[in-house]
A and B are shown apart, each in its own frame.
Chain A
Amino acid sequence: MAAASPLKDPAPDQAAFLELAIDRYGKATYNFAYRLTCNEADARDLTQEAFIRVYKAWQSFKPGTSFLSWIYRIVTNLHRDELRRRKGRYQEEIPDDNKLQEFSGARPLAVAPIEEYVDSQLSEPLSKALDELGTEQRQIVWLADIEDYSYQEIADIVGCTVGTVRSRLHRARGQLRKLVTRHMKSPS
């Protein structure tokens, strides 16, 4: 007789839900977490914890609603809790399996010129500028300008009012502009 395994097999539906969620939204969640934390070790931890929460609370997800909004909200709350706990930041060594994605195949024509321009000219200043924004501003810029969420959806994810989203976005964009200009003038 085989030795009893200490592992507990998840319920089939619950396990399938988790696998589907990771498959479809794992990358987006990780990138969102990375944008919040600005470092890979924390982004990994945040992503892991978020999906474990998803697994535990899988039955509370309402079909027909946005899963991504749900998990972004989980990530946001976890990150906020973590920041409160730490009251600061630390950086850990980056594991080997974490690499920048390599492009394969042709890019869409509509975005290729600006991507090339960003790659060659703006990537570094923009990256520094985004890192220097406050966490909340960076998060709102990410959700509004990159993920195309509505102000109401952002308010639901972040847990604030639409008015706060609007004012933070305006401030963040103004700040971003100044920071990019500064980093372009004096690259270090």
Chain B
Amino acid sequence: MNQLHPTPEEIVDYLHGEVSPSRDAAIHAHLAGCAECAEIRDSEQSLTEMLKAYARAEERELPSGVVATIRDAVRYQPPTLWERLSAAFRPAVAVPVAIAIAAFMYFGFRFAHGPAAASTIDASYYVESHAALSGSTPLSEDQPVPGELTDDAQPH
């Protein structure tokens, strides 16, 4: 095939304005003097025109039901995560929530650390209580026998 002839594909690209300016000018000049290529161009052009005419003839109106469905759908859209978070952080909600969290953290901390502190108190309390009890009720059953506590106990 003569290299000077544009290919049918190139003619399609030319008709769609998809060749470089220099190539566009060359094809344009060629088509003016080549009946064979001009025929291909006319054929391709008529196919495009038929498609356009067909599209116009077959053009459809947007069904009214589609618009109504879109409107309903956007009004029923579930809130996004961001919308839910934004709603949760409104002042009317956020302030009581913040107070509740602060109270929980404060009392939770106290509760969590309470037993450990109490155990040291219990130990000292036990020693003091034991000493006091021993002093006030020396004959209590819980108390050790005095004789066992002294080295100078007299034998009977």
Contact = CB atoms under 8 A, between A and B. Distances in A.
Interface of A: 6-10, 15, 18, 22, 26-27, 29-31, 34, 40, 44, 47-48, 51-52, 55-56, 95, 97-101, 111, 114-115, 117-119, 122-123, 126-127, 130, 141-142, 144-146, 150-151, 166, 169-170, 173, 176-177
Across chains A and B, which 10 residue pairs bring their CB atoms closest together, nearest first?
Answer: A118-B53, A26-B62, A146-B55, A115-B53, A97-B63, A30-B62, A145-B51, A114-B53, A27-B62, A51-B70
B58 A100 contact: yes
A123 B74 contact: no
Contact of B18 (A6, A55, A141, A166): A166
A177 B60 contact: no
Interface residues of B, number: 36
18 contacts: A10-B74, A22-B67, A22-B70, A26-B66, A30-B62, A31-B55, A44-B65, A44-B69, A48-B69, A52-B70, A52-B74, A52-B77, A55-B70, A98-B63, A114-B49, A115-B53, A166-B9, A173-B47
B54 interface: yes
Given A7-B76, A48-B70, A177-B47, A145 B60 contact: no
Interface in B32-88: 44, 47-67, 69-70, 73-77, 79
Q: Chain A contact residues: over half helix, strand or loop, or mixed?
A: helix
B31 interface: no
A56 B18 contact: no
Contacts of A48: 66, 69-70, 73
B27 interface: no
A30 B60 contact: yes
